[in-house]
């Protein structure tokens, strides 16, 4: 992402922020975007995110994906990453594009319950997997315990890394290895939070772990 895009996105954010934010407390607003994965409220600002600059060689293949329990078929270029397929083809914009090079973790989703970086995953390699994005964590209108813990512990500021943090934290719980503070921090090191909410993210994960015990 170049500086131009960053500036443009920042500008749009300031415009859009007024709408959902009005008459809503910050915590309620964050609760909404955590649950909805920001699908509705802040989607417009993300339309400027660059995908592929090269000329498309056509939607030449069919890719079958199982996402959040729903089977979907897309026609796409084989180059499409799972991240771009989710966001651009399936309009599941809860999963975020950060660095697009596997260095920040914003794009983390679960494939068969295991956390992966969707930005470095070719979508066509995941046609047999059950993909879970942040949109698929809540069940029957109730937040996933990890989503609720993130709200309860104020485990974010800007919220951009949050869908990836939450999916990664769910993956950590599924793995069941990280127990101590040090182990949890190490195990969450693939998710960068530029606001520096790490302590509260740690608290949220420990809260879910203690409930599970």
Partner 1 sequence: MQPFTFTRATDTQSAIETAAGRTDIKFIGGGTNLVDLMKMHVETPSKLIDINPLPLRQIEWSPTGGLHIGALVRNSDLALHPDVIAHYPVLSEALLSGASPQLRNMATVGGNLLQRTRCPYFYDKAFNCNKRDPESGCAAMNGYNRSHAILGGSNKCIATHPSDMCVALVALDAIILTRGINGERSIPIASFYLEPGQTPQKENVLYPGELITDVQLPVSPFARRSHYRKVRDRTSYEFALASAAVALEMDGERIRSARVALGGVGTRPWRAYAAEKILTGAILDDHTFEVAAQAALLGASPHADNAFKIELARRTLVDTLQHLLAG
List the one residue from 89, 115, 144, 200 that touches partner 1 (CB under 8 A). 115
| Binding of partner 1 by 100 (CB under 8 A) | yes
Q: Which residue pairs from 40-49 have beta carbons closer than 8 angstroms and sit at least 24 positions apart in sequence?
A: 41/16, 42/13, 42/16, 43/93, 44/12, 44/16, 45/9, 45/12, 45/13, 45/16, 46/9, 46/87, 46/93, 46/97, 48/5, 48/8, 48/9, 48/12, 49/1, 49/5, 49/9, 49/87, 49/97
Q: Which of 98, 171, 197, 204 binds partner 1 (CB under 8 A)?
A: 171
CB nearer to partner 1: pick between 92 and 106: 106
Total residues at interface with partner 1 (CB under 8 A) = 34
Among 68, 95, 117, 133, binds partner 1 (CB under 8 A): 117
Site residues (CB under 8 A) for partner 1? 52, 54, 57, 61, 77-79, 81, 100-102, 105, 108, 111, 114-117, 120-122, 124-125, 168, 171-172, 175, 177, 185-187, 189-191
């Amino acid at each position: 992402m170049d500086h131009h895009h960053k500036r443009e996105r920042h500008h749009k954010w300031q415009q859009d922020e007024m709408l959902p934010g009005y008459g809503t407390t910050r915590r309620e607003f964050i609760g909404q975007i955590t649950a909805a994965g920001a699908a509705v409220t802040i989607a417009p600002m993300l339309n400027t995110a660059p995908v592929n600059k090269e000329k498309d060689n056509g939607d030449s293949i069919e890719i079958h994906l199982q996402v959040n329990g729903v089977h979907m078929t897309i026609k796409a270029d084989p180059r499409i990453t799972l991240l771009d397929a989710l966001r651009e083809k399936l309009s599941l914009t809860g999963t975020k594009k950060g660095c697009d090079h596997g260095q920040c973790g914003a794009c983390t989703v679960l494939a068969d319950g295991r956390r992966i970086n969707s930005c470095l995953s070719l979508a066509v390699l995941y046609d047999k997997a059950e993909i879970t994005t942040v949109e698929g964590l809540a069940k029957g209108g109730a937040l996933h315990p990890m989503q609720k813990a993130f709200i309860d512990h104020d485990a974010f500021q800007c919220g951009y890394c949050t869908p990836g943090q939450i999916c990664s934290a769910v993956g950590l719980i599924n793995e069941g290895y990280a127990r101590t503070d040090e182990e949890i921090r190490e195990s969450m090191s693939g998710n960068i939070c530029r606001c520096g909410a790490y302590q509260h993210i740690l608290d949220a994960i420990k809260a879910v772990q203690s409930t599970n015990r």
